[in-house]
Amino acid sequence: GGQPIPPPITDTSLKLVVDKDHQWKPLRAGDQRGPCPGLNALASHGWLPRNGIVTPGEIVTAVQNGYNMEWKRAVLVTYAAFLVNGNHLTNLLSLGGMSWLTGHAPPPPALASGLNTHGTFEGDASLTRSDAFLGDNHSFNETLFQQLVDISNKVGGGKYNASAAAEVRFQRVQDSIARNPTFNFANPRFNTAFVEAVFPIVFFIDGRLRAAGETGLDLKVMRGFFEDHRMPKDFHRRGTAAHDYIPGFNNGSVNNFVADPNFMGTQTELVCALYEKFVNSTVALYPNPHGALRAALNQNLDNFYVAAEAHCDQIKPYN
């Protein structure tokens, strides 16, 4: 059943991630990898179980250790995915497809079928993975990666930077509009698609380069993460989550920075809309849970809410 969230890590310095205990290893038969290059690479370097069968707590800790992802953001993304793709009875999730290693699943409509499951968390217009309707929604796609390389060469000076991300994001959506009659880019995919387009810039640039002012991701390094689940040889994570910032302005004098009330209003709605959406998806999967399953779902819904509570009213479908 559900377990409490592990606490934030305490050392958030810039440091070596690919140390001697976390070397890349090739896949063995049955190892699960899927649509997320960040988690795939953590598993192939042993920061997550190498077989790709993980608990949500392991993800929360691993994304902090490997990339210095901020704890609350990690909790939000992890429990969103776990609620819809995980097995609440065994507390296990496959980073890829359905696996017997996650244990006996609750009855349908529950899925518990891993991150590959289309239309729950995984969605359309991914950077390097095809739309489910058009093909394989979880494996690296060379054609799509070449489009990303071309765009990065054209507008990113040969790197995947913010300009390239914006253009790739746009092109992928246009492509799906033109070719995929089932294209879905509504909430929550609308949110996750934009976030994922900048993750490579935020997390895959070596911390030492970033500290020296680098703002673009080398395309060979990017291919390593996306195709081979592989970090560069001596990859260093970034230092403490780039000082969190909020949109705002100096209110008439220096050192008098205040939040822009209108912008924060919008921001709050987005987070809460995403929160509510995932709770509703969970209820659709588990319309009437009993006993241990109900208890586990309530624990994991509480865990998910930890990431939204500053902004949103809690929704308690099973109380």
Q: Which residues have C-beta within 8 Å of that of residue 48, sequence separation ≥ 6?
A: 39, 42, 54, 58, 59, 62, 95
Note whether 127 binds ligand HEM by CB under 6 A. Answer: yes
Q: Which residues have C-beta within 8 Å of that of residue 108, sequence separation ≥ 6?
A: none
We find the least distance from the C-beta atom of residue 80 to ligand HEM, in angstroms, to be 7
> What CA–CA distance (Å, rounded) separates 78 from 56?
6
The entry of Mg ion, ligand HEM, none that residue 285 binds, CB within 5 to 8 Å by partner kind: none
H-helix or E-strand containing 259? Answer: strand 257-259
DSSP 298: H
The entry of ligand HEM, Mg ion, none that residue 74 binds, CB within 5 to 8 Å by partner kind: ligand HEM
Is there a contact between 124 and 176 (Cβ–Cβ < 8 Å)? yes
Compose the 103-132 pattern: x for residues touching Mg ion by CB under 5 A, - for all others.
Answer: -------------------x---x--x---
**32/126 with CB nearer Mg ion:** 126
**90/126 with CB nearer ligand HEM:** 126
Which residues within the stretch 187-206 sit at the binding site for ligand HEM (CB under 6 A)? 192, 196, 199-200, 203
> What CA–CA distance (Å, rounded) separates 164 from 141?
18
* Amino acid, single-letter form, for residue 142: E
Which residues within the stretch 40-79 sit at the binding site for ligand HEM (CB under 6 A)? 59, 63, 67, 69, 74, 77-78
Note whether 91 binds Mg ion by CB under 5 A. Answer: no
The entry of Mg ion, ligand HEM, none that residue 76 binds, CB within 5 to 8 Å by partner kind: none
The entry of Mg ion, ligand HEM, none that residue 127 binds, CB within 5 to 8 Å by partner kind: ligand HEM
The entry of Mg ion, ligand HEM, none that residue 38 binds, CB within 5 to 8 Å by partner kind: ligand HEM
Q: Tell me the pairing of strands 217-218 and 53-54.
A: unpaired
Phi, psi of 225, deg, nearest 5 = -65, -50
Q: Which residues have C-beta within 8 Å of that of residue 58, sequence separation ≥ 6?
A: 48, 49
Q: Tell me the pairing of strands 257-259 and 248-250.
A: antiparallel
The entry of Mg ion, ligand HEM, none that residue 5 binds, CB within 5 to 8 Å by partner kind: none
We find the least distance from the C-beta atom of residue 161 to Mg ion, in angstroms, to be 22
Q: Which residues bind Mg ion (CB under 5 A)?
A: 122, 126, 129
Q: Which residues bind ligand HEM (CB under 6 A)?
A: 35-39, 59, 63, 67, 69, 74, 77-78, 81, 115, 121-123, 126-129, 192, 196, 199-200, 203
